[in-house]
Amino acid sequence: MGELIEVTDPADPRLHDYSGLTDIELRKVREPAEGLFMAEGEKVIRRALTAGYPMRSMLLSPKWAEPMRALIDTADAPVYVGAEPLLEAVTGFHVHRGALASMQRTPALEAGPLLARAKRIVVLEDIVNHTNLGAIFRSAAALGMDAALLTPRCADPLYRRSVRVSMGTVFALPYARLESWPGGLHTLADHGFRTIALTPGPTAVDLPALRFGPDEKVALLLGTEGDGLSDDALAAADLRVRIPMTAGVDSLNVAAAAAVACYAIAAAPADS
Amino acid sequence: MGELIEVTDPADPRLHDYSGLTDIELRKVREPAEGLFMAEGEKVIRRALTAGYPMRSMLLSPKWAEPMRALIDTADAPVYVGAEPLLEAVTGFHVHRGALASMQRTPALEAGPLLARAKRIVVLEDIVNHTNLGAIFRSAAALGMDAALLTPRCADPLYRRSVRVSMGTVFALPYARLESWPGGLHTLADHGFRTIALTPGPTAVDLPALRFGPDEKVALLLGTEGDGLSDDALAAADLRVRIPMTAGVDSLNVAAAAAVACYAIAAAPADS
Total domain count for chain A? 2
Q: Is A167 helix (H, G, I), strand (E, B) or coil?
A: coil
Amino acid at position A118, single letter: A
Q: Are residues A154 and A258 in the same domain?
A: yes
Q: Are residues A253 and A204 in the same domain?
A: yes
Helix (H) or strand (E) run with residue A163 in it: helix A160-165
Q: Are residues B119 and B191 in the same domain?
A: yes
Q: Are residues B158 and B65 in the same domain?
A: no
- CATH number of the domain bearing residue B91: 3.30.1330.30
Which residues in chain A have their CB less than 8 angstroms from residue B255's CB?
Answer: 135, 255-256
Amino acid at position A237, single letter: A
Phi-psi category of B2—alpha, beta or left, where left has phi over 0 and alpha has psi -120 to 50? left
Q: What is the pLDDT along chain A (272 residues), one digit of tens a residue?
A: 568 999 999 999 999 999 999 999 999 999 999 999 999 999 999 999 999 999 999 999 999 999 999 999 998 999 999 999 999 999 999 887 789 999 999 999 999 999 999 999 999 999 999 999 999 999 999 999 999 999 999 999 999 999 999 999 999 999 999 999 998 889 999 999 999 999 988 889 999 999 888 789 999 999 999 899 999 999 999 999 999 998 778 889 999 999 999 999 998 877 75
Residues 6+ apart with CB under 8 A from B113: none
Q: Is A271 helix (H, G, I), strand (E, B) or coil?
A: coil
Q: Are residues B82 and B186 in the same domain?
A: no
Strands B239-242 and B205-206: parallel
CA dist A204 and B254 (Å) reads 28
Is residue A65 one of the residues assigned to a domain? yes
Which residues in chain B have their CB less than 8 angstroms from residue A253's CB?
Answer: 135, 138-139, 165
Q: Are residues B125 and B98 in the same domain?
A: no
Q: Which of A50, A225, A252, A262 to mutate to test the interface with B (most CBs of B within 10 A)?
A: A252
- CATH number of the domain bearing residue A161: 3.40.1280.10
Is residue B78 one of the residues assigned to a domain? yes
Which residues in chain B have their CB less than 8 angstroms from residue A255's CB?
Answer: 135, 255-256
Q: Which residues pair with B198 in a beta bridge?
A: B241
Which residues in chain B have their CB less than 8 angstroms from residue A169's CB?
Answer: 249
Phi, psi of B185 (to 5 degrees): -60, -30
Q: Are residues B85 and B122 in the same domain?
A: no
Q: In whole numbers, what is the pLDDT of chain A averaged over residues?
A: 93
pLDDT of residue A1: 57
Which residues in chain A have their CB less than 8 angstroms from residue B165's CB?
Answer: 253
Residue among A155, A161, A153, A132 nearest A39 (CA):
A161
Q: Are residues A127 and A62 in the same domain?
A: no
Is residue A78 one of the residues assigned to a domain? yes
Is residue A155 one of the residues assigned to a domain? yes
Low-confidence ranges of chain B (pLDDT < 70): 1-2, 272
Which residues in chain B have their CB less than 8 angstroms from residue A257's CB?
Answer: 259
Q: Are residues B119 and B235 in the same domain?
A: yes
Note the ipTM here: 0.91
The dihedral over CA atoms of B202, B205, B209, B211, expressed in degrees to the nearest 10, equals -160
CA dist B265 and B194 (Å) reads 12
CA distance A129 to chain B (A): 13
Flag if A255 and B257 touch (Cβ within 8 Å). Answer: no
CA dist A87 and A75 (Å) reads 20
CA dist A71 and B43 (Å) reads 49
CA distance A89 to chain B (A): 24
Q: How far is CA A264 from the centre of its chain?
A: 21
Domain boundary among A41, A71, A104: A104
Which residues in chain B have their CB less than 8 angstroms from residue A209's CB?
Answer: none
pLDDT of residue A272: 55
CA distance A4 to chain B (A): 31
Q: Residue B179 belongs to what domain range?
A: 111-267
Domain boundary among A104, A131, A146: A104
Contact residues, chain A to chain B, C-beta under 8 Å: 135, 138-139, 141-144, 165, 167, 169, 172, 207-208, 243-246, 248-249, 251-253, 255-257, 259-260, 263-264, 266-267
A159 CB burial (10 A radius; 0-12, 13-18, 19+): buried
Q: What is the largest distance, in Å, between two alpha-carbon atoms of chain A?
A: 67
Q: Is A53 helix (H, G, I), strand (E, B) or coil?
A: coil
Is residue A127 one of the residues assigned to a domain? yes
Please report the DSSP string for A227-257 in residue order: TBS-HHHHHH-SEEEE----TT-----HHHH
pLDDT tens profile A249-262: 888 999 999 999 99
CA distance B151 to chain A (A): 23
Q: How far is CA B74 from the centre of its chain?
A: 25
Q: Which of B253, B254, B262, B265 to mutate to test the interface with A (most CBs of A within 10 A)?
A: B253
Tell me how many helices (H) and strands (E) chain A has.
Answer: 10, 12
Domain boundary among B87, B104, B121: B104
Is residue B181 one of the residues assigned to a domain? yes
Question: For every residue of chain B, which 3-state class applies, written as one string?
Answer: CCCEEECCCCCCHHHHHHCCCCCHHHHHHHHHHHCEEEEECHHHHHHHHHCCCCEEEEEECHHHCCCCHHHHHHCCCCEEECCHHHHHHHHCCCCCCCEEEEEECCCCECHHHHHHHCCEEEEECCCCCHHHHHHHHHHHHHCCCCEEEECCCCCCCCCHHHHHHCCCHHHHCCEEECCCCCCCHHHHHHCCEEEEEECCCCCCEEHHHCCECCCCEEEEEECECCCECCHHHHHHCCEEEECCCCCCCCCCCHHHHHHHHHHHHHHCCECC
pLDDT tens profile A63-96: 999 999 999 999 899 999 999 999 999 999 988 7
CA distance A233 to chain B (A): 25
Flag if A139 and B243 touch (Cβ within 8 Å). Answer: no
Q: Are residues B75 and B118 in the same domain?
A: no
CA dist B81 and B68 (Å) reads 12
Is residue A37 one of the residues assigned to a domain? yes
Is residue B272 one of the residues assigned to a domain? no
Flag if B256 and A257 touch (Cβ within 8 Å). Answer: no
Q: Are residues B234 and B120 in the same domain?
A: yes
> How many CA atoms lie within 13 Å of B123's alpha carbon, on the beta-carbon side?
33
Contact residues, chain B to chain A, C-beta under 8 Å: 135, 138-139, 141-144, 165, 167, 169, 172, 207-208, 243-246, 248-249, 251-253, 255-257, 259-260, 263-264, 266-267
Which residues in chain B have their CB less than 8 angstroms from residue A121's CB?
Answer: none
CA distance A30 to chain B (A): 28
Distances (CA, A) of A212 to A117, A243, A267, A270, B39: 18, 17, 10, 5, 44
CA dist A235 and B97 (Å) reads 33
Q: Are residues B79 and B96 in the same domain?
A: yes
Q: Is A260 helix (H, G, I), strand (E, B) or coil?
A: helix
